[in-house]
Amino acid sequence: MIRDQETVNILLDTISRFVRERLVPQEAHVAETDQIPQELVDEMKELGLFGLSIPEEYGGMGLTMEEEVLATFEIGKTSPCFRSLFATNNGIGAQGIVIDGTPEQKRHYLPKLASGEIIGAFALTEPDSGSDAASLRTSARRDSDFYVLNGTKRYITNAPEAGIFTVMARTTPDSRGAQGISAFIVERGTPGLALGPIDKKMGQKGAHICDVIFEDCRVPAANLIGGREEVGFKTAMKVLDKGRINIAAVCVGVAERMLDDALRYAMERKQFGKPIAEFQLIQAMLADSKAEIYAARSMVIDAARRRDDGLDVGTEAACAKLFASEMCGRVADRAVQIFGGAGYLAEYGIERFYRDVRLFRIFEGTTQIQQLVIARNMIRAQAD
């Protein structure tokens, strides 16, 4: 749902110009140093990028889902690490509070997230529970006005920079599966919270992950999201539905950037006396990429509109994330092929995108988990 087309167009133009003029020129530098310059972070804050989807009453832009994915298409046309820094504040790092937080939790944390004063992180995955998230072992034991958390979370995006963590922990020790899981807001610096070393990754340099470790970490009971136990897994799934649409959207944006680069190269690079873009086998790769990007973009917009209409989009979000992330990988592979030997060199940047986009098929639910979600929802609907 687009509320005011003119306002949205201004926002999209502003983001597109920022991406083109400020972020794209810094891609190689960030990849080499594994750090986003602070001046760029400050500019992201000034543009309001940390609060795109946070309600206006808390200092954000309050974009609808459709407006947000349109913005994400533009943000995706540069290195994914830039989006990763502020996307958790609009997605998994804040949406638990936006969706299910108490009024007090919203008033206290959302303005800080919207301004970029603090960065949020989502702590669900553990060393022994990734795709099987419901088997998590991190425990939360009530002790007077506190909960005492113990456990380890793994692969937590933005953990090194995070000011707060949305943490899923088991408040009912004997429970199994999704039952007994609650969600907590844990602030950086809380005694008993420690961070592991920053992990070295295949790609997405500039975006950081590490373990988050809880050892008798005392969290105020007031930080139980929603003030209720045993509904944390439901909160997590609602957060992930929205997150999957956003991941699908960034896949579209990155794929569009890679295709633009590949087309430009194909028109400039000559073999046998003419641009390689004139060869039919090159044209086939360009055409297949264009068609798949168009299909993924259409899926993302449809899923976003359905969510704006208040519909359950669990299946559509999974479909969009599955198709768009796989599509993005295929476009990356074709782009490297079109570049040929140059595509294997760091000088051209396409090899960096090739590594960067591989993650999209893994995080916030692997392709195989999306397949299970889709099929199980189909079976459930047929049985009803």
Question: Residue 50 CB: number of other CB atoms within 10 A?
Answer: 28
- Report how far residue 62's alpha carbon sits from residue 53's, in angstroms, rounded to the nearest whole number: 5
Dump the DSSP string for 182-232: EEEEEETT-TTEEE-PPPP-SS-TT--EEEEEEEEEEEEGGGBGGG-SS-H
DSSP state of 165: E
Strand 120-123 with 164-170, pairing: parallel
Q: Among 90, 61, 71, 65, which residue's Cα sits nearest to residue 19?
A: 71
Region 6-31: what's the mean pLDDT? 96
- pLDDT score of 42: 96
- pLDDT score of 259: 98
- Asked about 117 being catalytic, the answer comes back as no
pLDDT tens string 274-324? 999 999 999 999 999 999 999 999 999 999 999 999 999 999 999 999 999
Look up residue 315 and give its two tokens.
Answer: 């299946």
Question: Residue 253 CB: number of other CB atoms within 10 A?
Answer: 27
- pLDDT score of 232: 87
- pLDDT score of 17: 97
- Report how far residue 327's alpha carbon sits from residue 93's, in angstroms, rounded to the nearest whole number: 26
Does the model's pTM come out above 0.85?
A: yes
Sign of CA dihedral 70, 365, 78, 292: negative
Strand 181-187 with 164-170, pairing: antiparallel
- Identify the residue whose tokens are 């359950």: 312
Whether the pLDDT of residue 2 is over 80: the answer is no
Region 254-276: what's the mean pLDDT? 97
Whether the pLDDT of residue 1 is over 80: the answer is no
DSSP state of 78: S
Options 74, 292, 351, 364, the catalytic residue: 364
Cβ atoms 236, 247 nearer than 8 A: no
DSSP state of 129: B
Question: pLDDT band at residue 50, thresholds of 50, 70 and 90?
Answer: very high
